[in-house]
A and B are shown apart, each in its own frame.
Chain A
Amino acid sequence: MVDFAGKAEPGTTKKYKTGTWRTYKPILDKEACIGCEKCWEYCPDSCKIETEYDGDIIFDTDLDYCKGCGICAEECPVEAIEMELDEK
């Protein structure tokens, strides 16, 4: 047995939760979101998730990976996303 070598499994990036790096986090106003998908398109970390809210489709954030860049808040046409200091 070799105990100095390692094997990388596929899909390990998923386990690497990069969300802890952020300074700000996006807060979604679920009522205001019109489900336009803009934030989903622009998010560089692919962490917008389609969810259902009150029978409508909205896009919330997977905070395990969101790095708080604020692009989604910038792009949202109805200003449904606000960036808030993520206290740690």
Chain B
Amino acid sequence: MKEIRIHGRGGQGSVTAAELLSESAFEDGLEAQAFPAFGVERRGAPVKAFARIDDEPIRIRSQIYEPSHVIVQDPTLIGTIDVTKGILDGGMIIINTSRNPDQLDLNTQAEVVTIDATKLALDILGKPIMNTALLGAFSGATGIVSIEAMKNRVKARFPGEIGEKNALVMDKAKEKMEE
């Protein structure tokens, strides 16, 4: 089972990202669940969202304490909370930052992958909404969920131009992971 924890700030779409991730996995024929961690619900406050993906039915309903994957939407959270907490050996952390993994001070055995998702979002969407870029990166870096399913889900959720542009963001992010 893959267990994914997403760290973001209120307003950045962490919950939407977790939902899109699990919906995409479902479209790929996998079993999936997504849920948020309720905390202080105000813009800017650190928030968490979770997703589980498996090829077997998922019976567990608890929070995720030992994720196989962590997605960090906002690099400034790194100093505030421990984004590496509980991550499994051999796990992966995907971080939205303009820096390289070795420029980040992360004490972890997990593989650290970085992508400047904010810049990608600004270039294509014109807005710093970077969650779809991170999903594309997740697909590219892990192959757990197909990029086709992700693009379908984002287009279904945001019909019209916004969905199309977000699908493009996903493609570009995936390409960057494969570079």
Contacts and interface: CB of A to CB of B under 8 A. Distances in A.
Interface of A: 18, 20-21, 23, 85, 87-88
Given A21-B9, A21-B76, A23-B128, A87 B98 contact: yes
Contact of B122 (A18, A20, A85, A88): A85
B76 A88 contact: yes
A20 B128 contact: no
A88 B44 contact: no
Listed from nearest, the 3 A-B pairs whose CB atoms lie closest are A20-B76, A23-B128, A87-B98
Contacts of A21: 9, 44, 74, 76
Given A18-B44, A88-B97, A23 B76 contact: no
Nearest to A20: B76
B98 A88 contact: yes
A18 B46 CA distance: 11
A83 B128 CA distance: 14
Interface in B3-20: 9
B84 interface: no
B118 interface: yes
B165 interface: no
Interface residues of B, number: 12
Interface string B120-145: 00100000100000000000000000
A20 B77 CA distance: 8
A8 B44 CA distance: 20
B119 A85 contact: yes
A21 B119 CA distance: 15
Given A23-B118, A23-B128, 15 more contacts: A18-B44, A20-B74, A21-B9, A21-B44, A21-B74, A21-B76, A23-B122, A85-B119, A87-B98, A88-B74, A88-B75, A88-B76, A88-B98, A88-B99, A88-B118
A14 B128 CA distance: 26
A23 B9 CA distance: 13
20 contacts: A18-B44, A20-B74, A20-B76, A21-B9, A21-B44, A21-B74, A21-B76, A23-B118, A23-B122, A23-B128, A85-B119, A85-B122, A87-B98, A88-B74, A88-B75, A88-B76, A88-B97, A88-B98, A88-B99, A88-B118
Nearest to B118: A23
Contacts of A85: 119, 122
Contacts of B122: 23, 85
